[in-house]
Structure 1
Amino acid sequence: MAKKEALTTTRMLLVLTFLISLFSLSMCGNTSFSIDYNGNTFVLDGKPFRAISGSLHYSRVHPYYWHDRLLKMVAGGLNTVQTYVPWNIHEPKEGEYNFKGLADIELFLQTAQEVGIKVLLRSGPYICGEWEYGGLPAWLLSIDPNMIVRTMDPGYIAAVDKWFDVLMPLLKKYLHENGGPILMVQIENEYGSYFACDFDYLRFLYKKARGILGETAIIYTTDGDGAAYVKCGSIEGSYITIDFGPTNNPVANFAVQRQFQPQGPLMNSEFYTGWLDHWGNPHAHTNLDTVCKSLDKILALGANVNMYMYEGGTNFGYWNGANAPPYQPVPTSYDYDAPLNETGDITDKYIAIRQTISKYQKLPEIPIPPNTPKGKYGTTQMNFVSTIQDALDVVSPDKPVYSTYPLTMEQIRFYYGFILYRTKLPRDINQLTPLLTKGVRDRGYVMVDQVPQGIFIRDDVIQVNITGKQGQMLDILVENTGRIGFATLMNYNVKGLTENITLDGEILTGWNIYPISLENINSSIISTRQGSGPKLNNGLLTPSIYMGKVPIPTSDPEPKDTFLDMRPWVKGQAFVNGFNVGRYWPKMGPQVTLYVPKPALVSPSLPNYLVMFELENTSCPPSQPCNVIFTDKPFINAIPAGSSFSVREIKEGYNWNLRV
């Protein structure tokens, strides 16, 4: 409660500060931001301006830390922050808008104003960013599962039109010319890399944004460093920018921008300081010297630059996206090997980039803010609470949806996390018999009367052999592990069971479908459960809920950031005091620990509850409780090596081998 009150007070102060600044600017006048095409420069309040920027996505950093991160960016020599607007976090259900918590864009903009950093705002509607569905709301697929997004598809355009009527007026009041921090607004993102090349669509977005933002607002586009990309991604009236990484030749890349925009400031909108991760691949790393030398070349050309990412942050909850082909979901951590790491700590890359920037402009005379303290809280015992089936009254309290054949998540208007499909076996199955489908999106846990039989895996395992008796419950718990957010395959993004299930060639019918809302779990409900225990078969346990308490010493004045070491757990979802920390999958790697931000915790004098939904196996010795460890160091660089991988941690070595 105290933290909520503190955040509310902080917000009120920021709003007051913002209103005072608006009044002051209105009295002074002359607030403007424009492009001098002949002088090849931006002009801020009548003076030449060069953007030295970094990407930070407000939806990937807890609001409690926005001020800290933005101040570190300013101390690092940056004058601008670039951020995405994920439509889906703001409109999770059609017509229901959210501008609180991780979605409080106004608080973020007010914080930027207070810190004194300008904003490059990437409005979408599509953003990419390895975010769920590229930022598009999954309810679009309830309107039309065959919708071709990012085109003039009527259903898509109607939804975008309504969303921009909500978003653009909000952005307008925060434009620099109106006293706010926003210098420019980007529409779409890297559209030239998309197959459609629909200029009518780009013109629609531009006209819509221009009509609301006004004639003097700067609207821009970002595309890759090839002529074909810029040709399909730029639109008349907008300012063109390009993106490229540290191994590219800046002179050659900027020549592409000049081909389509002969005059005006040069700008790389995505200069890659690192790269993204996928489950099962090594943690990405970009050489520090390579980054700094390339940045030096860009700045020596007088160009503007945005570093993607400056802090990557975290895909809390179910917000991670995926790439394809092949289908590869992104982990919870979006560390990106960025100058500020996932938790906002200073890295060697931060110091080196700051030094490079100092060659071209004076650094601000402020100290670099310290890293946030971390808590090493030790071991906590996790107690079994219930199998998912025995908790359906809590996690799926409404009546199940009945259908003769399976329905997708989108068909029942449920979009993220988990969904359970249930029918009865039509006859005795005394010998192992194939249960078959090619339509699981993305992992399907098969059980007969709660006894695990196997796992369907998207594009991989399409058959699970089962046994059972007539009338026994056949359950398939399907996990949506993240929608594709890039290229053509993002148009095939429905989740759940997308095709029929056959048993020895016979189509199974009569399905009850349960949307699973794990957010409904709380400590009072958990304490009353009397579960019978998970069933073990084929190395799998029934997907189950476990609970423990974060062992913060009561003598501590307040909690600290901490990391949840998920060994020896296998795969699942973790919640701290109801806050969805994200997915864990330590045996797949590279991420092993989950970041738990301080504001997810409550006073050490009160209980802090950890709830875990384990899908596969606890890997604990029989008849012994399972534990997890809260540590003060992240571990996101486990090294996969084929079907097994050893694990290496740079600073604190673990003598630990994993088998997938």
Structure 2
Amino acid sequence: MAGRLNHSLTQKESRERNFKISSYTGGTRCRSNNRKRVDKMGWVTTAKVALLLFILSVEFNVGLQEKSASKSFTIDYANDQFLKDGEPFRYMSGSIHYFRVEPSEWRDRLRKMRMAGFNALQTYVEWSSHEPEPGFYDFSGILDLETFLKTAQEEDLVVILRLGPFIDAERDMGGLPYWLLNRNPDMKLRTSDPSYLKYVDDWYSNVLLPKVKPLLYENGGPVIMVQVENEYGSYGACDFAYTSHMRDLIRSGLGDNVLLFSTDGSGTGYLKCGKIPGVYSTVDFGSGGDVTKPFGAMRLFEPRGPLVNSEYYPGWLDHWGAPHSTVSTETVAKSLDDMLALNASVNMYMFHGGTSFGLKAGANQGSKYQACPTSYDYDAPLSEAGDPTEKYFAIRDVVKKYLPIPSGTVPPASPKYSYGKVQLAPQGNMFQFKSVLQSVTQKWPLTFEQLMMPNGLVMYETVLPFRIADPAVLSISDVHDRGYVFVDTYFVGIVSREQQLFNLPLSALPNQTITIVVESQGRICFGNGINDFKGLTTNVTVNGYSLSGWKMTPIPLTNITRLSSALRKLHDMTTSLGLSRSELTGTPRGGMAIYQGSFNVPNNSSHPQDTFLRLDGWGKGIVWVNNFCLGRYWPEVGPQVTLYVPRGILKKGANTMLVMELEVSPCSIASQCYVTLQDTHVINGPTPKDESLGEQERGLIPFPPPPRRAAPFLAELSSLMSNSLLKVVSLLPGVCSSRHTSASSGFLQVSHLGSLLQGV
């Protein structure tokens, strides 16, 4: 290509040279008689060209100045307001995270927000999704940040951009890449630790900021404000050198004109560490109470300037096993009215929560570890499926008192469809699956991070080298987060960080294999514990003796290419061996197994449509549809019972479904081995604290009455083991913790233990 290009340029130069020769040497007479005229004409032409260039230059510079003057977003401190293009401006913003909404639905959600009178979008940028592995960047599909922001601009919304690097947002590790903990296990996250800043600086300077700069308002884009860090006052480090570095880093990449802000809780304790010189401080708080009080805290740090609530909560987040969070519409509307009456600018977090697809949901650490569900509905004005709620219209009525509402009608809720039963069949169990995967052997167990495993499952195996008491105590004092214990392939019980259960009674002989399948339920997303290593983070002991010689097999749940390849190998292996249906499951109750099936979507113009996956009789696991990971399910503990299946991942005709079940399935009878796609969403189901409903009402498959012979066995164990161990014994069948607190749960546990003892 280069040779051909040079050749064509040579021909062009040759033609120009021949033209000049013919023009000036066509004859001595021509050159002689017309030389003075040619010289005069050349001077005139040169002068005209110079004048034209000068005029164009002046017009261009004037144009730039006019553009700069017309495209500006600043703070008018004297009048406590924002100025957009020199005119007073107050924003009513809503949070929508592009990485929680299918791209086919972006415009629908943004338009619905604009039709509620909102004039701005606020969104985070999630580093961990864009750089899932070091040096590998992804801005495609659901991660196409540029398209999302331009779509917002097309829908007449300006953008408030929160760059991170930490975002919280109930995301795994608060949006920080897990691999930072591999690069330096002692890394001090969110500080001026050079080993941390090295990667932050590279991400910002070489990748993120160059993408953001063309999208700034002054450059014709929608971005009017950029956040520095995120709620830093809630982090214990209080490293002013770090926050100043982040400010300067953003300035170096985006310029001095962009308006920078910070966000913190509405207390002086938060603001004193969150305040950054040269960055406008804002606060966040929810509904109820006197709104002037939190704004009063803001005024201590920003005596002049517009009042801003950067996170006004219309609802709240959920945790597995706790009731669905809701906030009354009346309370939300009243507090919003109170703030707007003060001429405050408000961002509603969330306007549309969406879904934590895949394994990206995080967790919180309060009095105990609590994992977040797949749904991020947030009791927001738009539901998880993007439907306007009663709260939406109440908020719209408040907003239109202060800001103009666009003409037209609010887009309706999207149609939903019941695609019915999806018949599934077992494809193999985890013990068979590990045989087609790569393993690592080390003396002591490695964490997920050491194994470069972002999330999901790791199988840890060791051989018992000595004789133990019967029973002995197996201690896994710091499992992160949930471990399923087997002796050989016989299921023994569960250890749980969430339930703070770390010991099990163990009966095993020398040379038997102890396997612990560890599930990461999401890294902590808020506070000082975000360096949340996963897997077996300490040694495993039996009666105080440490077990060594571990074989570790990561299950590639987050890499669909590797997962699909491994599943094909599993299918070939199990087919060649001619295994029976019962041999394809990992436990007698159908746990630790992979199930697959398909369903059809009608081939007409009204399909595909949104639908919801219900898994009655299933315990705990992960689902993929058409190789897209919907996320985790755990209906037995609630509150989320169904999974949202957006139409954007479906196709006309045949669609595939893959279910990885860890605990229990209804598949002992082939005809009952199915899940259901229905047209209603259930995210406020019963939880362990809700004992008002029986099991039939919870939608669980009934279990047989407890065998009488199991009770003496439990009584004997109670005389041998402590109360904490008894609690673990109740987990032996692998049932979910929703059953631990109900009056009938003890019978279920005895029943399951009895089923394990059958044939012994």
Q: TM-score, normalised by structure 1?
A: 0.90
* Closer/same/farther in 2, CA of residues 609 and 524 from structure 1, 3 Å limit: farther
Give how far 1:46 is off.
2.3
Partner of 1:562 in structure 2? 611
* Closer/same/farther in 2, CA of residues 176 and 194 from structure 1, 3 Å limit: same
* Closer/same/farther in 2, CA of residues 27 and 599 from structure 1, 3 Å limit: farther
Partner of 2:745 in structure 1? none
Return the alpha-carbon distance in structure 1 between the equivalents of residues 196 and 692 of structure 2.
Answer: 43
Structure 2 residue 663 is the aligned partner of structure 1 residue 616: yes
Match of 1:471 among 506, 511, 530: 511
Structure of larger gyration radius: 2
Match of 2:338 among 272, 293, 297: 297
Aligned residues of 2:425 and 2:670 also touching (Cα < 8 A): no
Unmatched runs of 5 consecutive residues or more in structure 2: 1-62, 703-737, 741-760
Aligned residues of 2:312 and 2:347 also touching (Cα < 8 A): yes
Return the alpha-carbon distance in structure 2 between the equivalents of residues 77 and 543 of structure 1.
Answer: 49
Give how far 1:147 is off.
2.1
Structure 2 residue 98 is the aligned partner of structure 1 residue 51: no
- Count of equivalent residues: 626
* Closer/same/farther in 2, CA of residues 526 and 343 from structure 1, 3 Å limit: farther
Secondary structure at the aligned position of 2:173 is classed as: helix
Aligned residues of 1:452 and 1:541 also touching (Cα < 8 A): no
Give how far 1:129 is off.
1.1
Give how far 1:469 is off.
4.4
Structural mapping, 1:19-418, within 5 Å: 29=67, 30-165=70-205, 166-325=207-366, 326-394=368-436, 396=437, 399-418=438-457
Aligned residues of 1:295 and 1:356 also touching (Cα < 8 A): yes
Return the alpha-carbon distance in structure 1 between the equivalents of residues 528 and 623 of structure 2.
Answer: 32
Give how far 1:180 is off.
0.5
Deviates more, 1:215-224 or 1:540-549: 540-549
* Closer/same/farther in 2, CA of residues 428 and 386 from structure 1, 3 Å limit: farther
Aligned residues of 1:85 and 1:124 also touching (Cα < 8 A): yes
Aligned residues of 1:120 and 1:185 also touching (Cα < 8 A): yes
Question: Letter of the aligned partner of 1:507 in structure 2?
Answer: S
Question: Letter of the aligned partner of 1:331 in structure 2?
Answer: P
Give how far 1:526 is off.
6.7
Partner of 2:733 in structure 1? none
Question: Letter of the aligned partner of 1:118 in structure 2?
Answer: V
* Closer/same/farther in 2, CA of residues 467 and 634 from structure 1, 3 Å limit: same
Partner of 1:5 in structure 2? none
Return the alpha-carbon distance in structure 2 between the equivalents of residues 172 and 44 of structure 1.
Answer: 18
Secondary structure at the aligned position of 1:292 is classed as: helix
Return the alpha-carbon distance in structure 2 between the equivalents of residues 179 and 510 of structure 1.
Answer: 60
* Closer/same/farther in 2, CA of residues 348 and 654 from structure 1, 3 Å limit: farther
* Closer/same/farther in 2, CA of residues 525 and 377 from structure 1, 3 Å limit: farther
Aligned residues of 1:647 and 1:654 also touching (Cα < 8 A): no
Secondary structure at the aligned position of 1:382 is classed as: strand
Question: Letter of the aligned partner of 1:274 in structure 2?
Answer: G
Question: Letter of the aligned partner of 1:54 in structure 2?
Answer: G
Return the alpha-carbon distance in structure 1 between the equivalents of residues 91 and 627 of structure 2.
Answer: 39
Structure 2 residue 669 is the aligned partner of structure 1 residue 627: no
* Closer/same/farther in 2, CA of residues 476 and 287 from structure 1, 3 Å limit: same
Give how far 1:656 is off.
8.6
Secondary structure at the aligned position of 1:74 is classed as: helix
Structure 2 residue 596 is the aligned partner of structure 1 residue 547: yes
* Closer/same/farther in 2, CA of residues 555 and 383 from structure 1, 3 Å limit: farther
Secondary structure at the aligned position of 1:313 is classed as: coil
Give how far 1:230 is off.
1.3
Return the alpha-carbon distance in structure 1 between the equivalents of residues 514 and 301 of structure 2.
Answer: 59
Return the alpha-carbon distance in structure 2 between the equivalents of residues 617 and 279 of structure 1.
Answer: 18
Return the alpha-carbon distance in structure 1 between the equivalents of residues 515 and 231 of structure 2.
Answer: 41
Give how far 1:228 is off.
2.1
Question: Letter of the aligned partner of 1:151 in structure 2?
Answer: T
Question: Letter of the aligned partner of 1:289 in structure 2?
Answer: E
Give how far 1:612 is off.
0.5
Question: Letter of the aligned partner of 1:42 in structure 2?
Answer: F
Question: Letter of the aligned partner of 1:498 in structure 2?
Answer: T
Aligned residues of 2:309 and 2:347 also touching (Cα < 8 A): yes
Deviates more, 1:423-432 or 1:474-483: 423-432
Secondary structure at the aligned position of 2:450 is classed as: helix
Give how far 1:471 is off.
3.4
Question: Letter of the aligned partner of 1:433 in structure 2?
Answer: A
Aligned residues of 2:616 and 2:701 also touching (Cα < 8 A): no
Deviates more, 1:37-46 or 1:474-483: 37-46
Question: Letter of the aligned partner of 1:596 in structure 2?
Answer: V
Give how far 1:642 is off.
3.4
Give how far 1:655 is off.
9.5
Give how far 1:622 is off.
5.0
Return the alpha-carbon distance in structure 1 between the equivalents of residues 502 and 339 of structure 2.
Answer: 49
Give how far 1:101 is off.
2.2
Secondary structure at the aligned position of 1:271 is classed as: strand
Secondary structure at the aligned position of 2:526 is classed as: coil
Return the alpha-carbon distance in structure 2 between the equivalents of residues 363 and 647 of structure 1.
Answer: 47
Question: Letter of the aligned partner of 1:447 in structure 2?
Answer: F
Secondary structure at the aligned position of 2:624 is classed as: strand
Give how far 1:283 is off.
0.3
Deviates more, 1:544-553 or 1:380-389: 544-553
Unmatched runs of 5 consecutive residues or more in structure 1: 1-24
Aligned residues of 1:435 and 1:464 also touching (Cα < 8 A): yes
* Structure with a larger share of its residues in helix: 2
Return the alpha-carbon distance in structure 2 between the equivalents of residues 46 and 188 of structure 1.
Answer: 28
* Closer/same/farther in 2, CA of residues 144 and 107 from structure 1, 3 Å limit: same
Secondary structure at the aligned position of 2:530 is classed as: helix
Aligned residues of 1:445 and 1:476 also touching (Cα < 8 A): yes
Aligned residues of 1:646 and 1:656 also touching (Cα < 8 A): no
* Closer/same/farther in 2, CA of residues 499 and 644 from structure 1, 3 Å limit: farther
Secondary structure at the aligned position of 1:208 is classed as: helix
Match of 1:515 among 523, 539, 554: 554
Return the alpha-carbon distance in structure 1 between the equivalents of residues 569 and 383 of structure 2.
Answer: 36
Partner of 2:523 in structure 1? 483
1:140-163: per-residue Cα shift (whole Å, max 9, x none)?
111222322111122111111111
| Identity percentage of aligned residues | 44
Return the alpha-carbon distance in structure 1 between the equivalents of residues 427 and 309 of structure 2.
Answer: 52
Partner of 1:10 in structure 2? none
Q: TM-score, normalised by structure 2?
A: 0.79
Give how far 1:215 is off.
0.8
Aligned residues of 2:132 and 2:177 also touching (Cα < 8 A): yes
Return the alpha-carbon distance in structure 2 between the equivalents of residues 377 and 647 of structure 1.
Answer: 28
Question: Letter of the aligned partner of 2:585 in structure 1?
Answer: P
Aligned residues of 1:220 and 1:241 also touching (Cα < 8 A): yes
Deviates more, 1:466-475 or 1:82-91: 466-475
* Structure with a larger share of its residues in strand: 1
Aligned residues of 1:637 and 1:648 also touching (Cα < 8 A): no
Return the alpha-carbon distance in structure 1 between the equivalents of residues 159 and 191 of structure 2.
Answer: 28
1:2-29: per-residue Cα shift (whole Å, max 9, x none)?
xxxxxxxxxxxxxxxxxxxxxxx97972
1:497-525: per-residue Cα shift (whole Å, max 9, x none)?
11111233332221111111133444866
Deviates more, 1:151-160 or 1:118-127: 151-160
Aligned CA-pair RMSD: 2.3
Return the alpha-carbon distance in structure 2 between the equivalents of residues 440 and 654 of structure 1.
Answer: 31
Deviates more, 1:466-475 or 1:78-87: 466-475
Give how far 1:448 is off.
2.4
Aligned residues of 1:380 and 1:551 also touching (Cα < 8 A): no
* Closer/same/farther in 2, CA of residues 369 and 28 from structure 1, 3 Å limit: farther
